[in-house]
């Protein structure tokens, strides 16, 4: 393979693939940067179906890659929004201990945030909480002033434009179906999954970066990796608060997360485009791209059900898994979960909303990987776990990847 110009191929046009393309383009101005995305547009999956929150790094284990990249990531993301006139707002977030049993965990969270370097957080008693969110329940809260809201689809489209302006390519309708490693690079085979007859293409690459999100473990397998750790898709469903009741929530209201459970618990989020959402819950999706219960993919379902990790996970979290399923089918139960945070909210205030599917990596022991997971191989790097706050941290993750690549790749 003798390309005139060296080429790095990024598989996946979600926000992390795009953030990576921007950072690699800056680091390697003489290298051709190509993003291959199977959908007709970028940000069609996790990056386009999330809560739109700019997370500051409150929750993550001090010293973890996640904590480090969330803290630097939010600053980079805000700067990117400012430079490119992307609508965003730093509105602050309230994390609420609804009863005295949650206060110790709330304080632990505050300590965690402090260790992660968050500035300006405050522990609030009930009277002060009500000044920020007049309808909130609870006995104590942490206020995180630097968090905010944005539309990550808008961010992704600006990223796409930046990549193109810098001379990179983002090729849509290009699903990577085969990766062949050669002595000095890769042959990357793609097909257009949406167009009969299928249009195929073969690309040469000196280096590949796998940002395949919900399919990252499968893309890694195409490159010869074992799938010991597997992606398990957890759907998060939302309701919209009816316009006449949106006054119940000013900004962002979150519960104290359960330390046994990796997701944050249903919360209230004001959207940058207007409106307020409640959710997301977390239920096993019956397809990697299963945005509703009726979307079932037999291959994906078998993949999940034949994975010992999932059974171990469900055995460990029986009660929680069952409660989440019941809440998914019962608006009344969903409303009850929300009433812990905002007692005045009623079932009738909730209108159907959208859903997102989280690409959550799980070990064969049934543990959910908490940290971001980047795996380096000769001429390849795989992003094998990048859940929330992956969107906030996407540029920082891209920077981290560019730093890894530059150790092993000369332009
Ligand atoms: C419900 C929900 C709420 C969330 N809330 C927040 C939040 O408020 N704030 C926050 O910071 N983060 C949040 N996150 C997390 C955040 O959305 C993700 O961390 C981030 O979007 C991951 O980006 P990605 O590029 O890795 O994945 P994706 O956006 O899923 O992109 C992966 C891309 O790879 C493509 N692809 C896959 N296989 C192939 C192939 N073989 N060939 C070519 N292309 C392929 C897919 O089509 C897809 O476009 C949330 C996630 C969910 C699901």
CATH H-level superfamily of 7-47+154-227+370-408: FAD/NAD(P)-binding domain (3.50.50.60)
pLDDT tens-digit map of 151-192:
999 999 999 999 999 999 999 999 999 999 999 999 999 998
What burial letters (b/e) apply to 347-373, b meaning 16+ CB within 10 Å?
A: eebbeeebbbbbbbbbeeebebebbbb
Question: Which residue has better confidence, 1 or 342?
Answer: 342
Distances (CA, A) of 60 to 112, 118, 263, 310, 391: 7, 12, 12, 23, 15
Distances (CA, A) of 331 to 138, 324, 344: 23, 12, 15
pLDDT tens-digit map of 34-57:
999 999 999 999 999 999 999 999
Q: What is the structure's pLDDT at 187?
A: 97
Q: What is the structure's pLDDT at 35?
A: 98
The span from the CA of 65 to the CA of 67, in Å, is 6
Secondary structure letter of residue 61 according to DSSP: P
Please answer whether residues 56 and 210 qualify as being in contact, where contact means their C-beta atoms are separated by less than 8 angstroms.
Answer: no
Atom 51 of ligand 1, residue of closest alpha carbon: 50
First to last CA, the chain: 15
Q: How far away, in angstroms, is 401 Cα from ligand 1 center?
A: 16
Q: What is the structure's pLDDT at 264?
A: 81
Atom 25 of ligand 1, residue of closest alpha carbon: 14
Q: Is ligand 1 within 6 A of the CB of residue 389?
A: yes
Q: How far away, in angstroms, is 347 Cα from ligand 1 center?
A: 30
Atom 9 of ligand 1, residue of closest alpha carbon: 53
pLDDT tens-digit map of 201-226:
999 999 999 999 999 999 999 999 99
Atom 38 of ligand 1, residue of closest alpha carbon: 212
In Å, the largest CA–CA distance within the chain is 69
Q: How far away, in angstroms, is 200 Cα from ligand 1 center?
A: 25
Q: How far away, in angstroms, is 50 Cα from ligand 1 center?
A: 9
Domain range 230-368, its CATH number among 3.30.9, 3.30.60, 3.40.50, 3.30.70:
3.30.9
Q: How far away, in angstroms, is 46 Cα from ligand 1 center?
A: 3
**Domain spans of the chain, in order of start:** 7-47+154-227+370-408, 93-145, 230-368
Q: What is the structure's pLDDT at 197?
A: 63
Q: Is ligand 1 within 6 A of the CB of residue 52?
A: yes
């Amino acid at each position: 393979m003798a390309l005139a110009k060296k080429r790095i191929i990024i598989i996946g046009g979600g926000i992390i693939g795009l953030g990576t393309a921007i950072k690699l383009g800056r680091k390697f101005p003489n290298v051709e940067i190509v993003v291959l995305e199977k959908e007709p547009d970028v940000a069609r999956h996790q990056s386009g179906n999330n809560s739109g929150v700019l997370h500051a790094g409150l929750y993550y284990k001090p010293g973890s890659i996640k904590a480090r990249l969330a803290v630097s990531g939010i600053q980079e993301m805000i700067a990117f929004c400012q430079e490119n006139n992307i609508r965003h707002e730093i509105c602050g977030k309230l994390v609420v201990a609804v009863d005295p049993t949650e206060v110790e965990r709330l304080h632990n969270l505050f300590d965690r945030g402090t260790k992660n370097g968050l500035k300006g957080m405050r522990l609030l008693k009930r009277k002060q909480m009500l000044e920020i969110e007049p309808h909130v329940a609870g006995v104590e809260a942490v206020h995180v002033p630097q968090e905010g809201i944005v539309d990550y689809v808008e961010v992704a489209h600006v990223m796409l434009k930046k990549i193109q302006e810098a001379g990179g390519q983002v090729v849509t309708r290009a699903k990577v179906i085969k990766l062949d490693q050669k002595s000095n690079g890769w042959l990357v085979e793609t097909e257009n999954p949406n167009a009969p007859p299928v249009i195929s293409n073969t690309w040469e690459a000196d280096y590949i970066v796998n940002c395949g999100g919900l399919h990252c473990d499968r893309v890694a397998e195409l490159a010869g990796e074992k799938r010991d750790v597997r992606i398990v898709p957890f759907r998060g469903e939302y309701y919209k608060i009816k316009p006449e009741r949106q006054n119940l929530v000013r900004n962002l209201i979150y519960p104290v997360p359960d330390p046994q459970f990796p997701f944050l618990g249903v919360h209230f989020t004001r959207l940058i485009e207007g409106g307020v959402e409640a959710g997301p819950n977390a239920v096993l999706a019956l397809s990697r791209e299963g945005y509703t219960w009726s979307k079932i993919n037999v291959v994906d379902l078998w993949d999940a059900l034949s994975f010992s990790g999932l059974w171990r996970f469900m055995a460990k979290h029986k009660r929680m898994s069952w409660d989440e399923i019941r809440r998914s089918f019962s608006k009344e139960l969903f409303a009850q979960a929300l009433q812990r945070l905002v007692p005045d909210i009623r079932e009738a205030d909730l209108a159907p909303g959208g859903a997102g599917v989280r690409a959550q990596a799980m070990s064969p022991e049934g543990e959910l990987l908490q940290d971001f997971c980047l795996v380096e191989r000769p001429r390849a790097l795989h992003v094998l776990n990048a859940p929330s706050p992956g969107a906030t941290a996407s540029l920082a993750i891209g920077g981290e990847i560019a730093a890894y690549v530059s150790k092993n790749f000369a332009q």
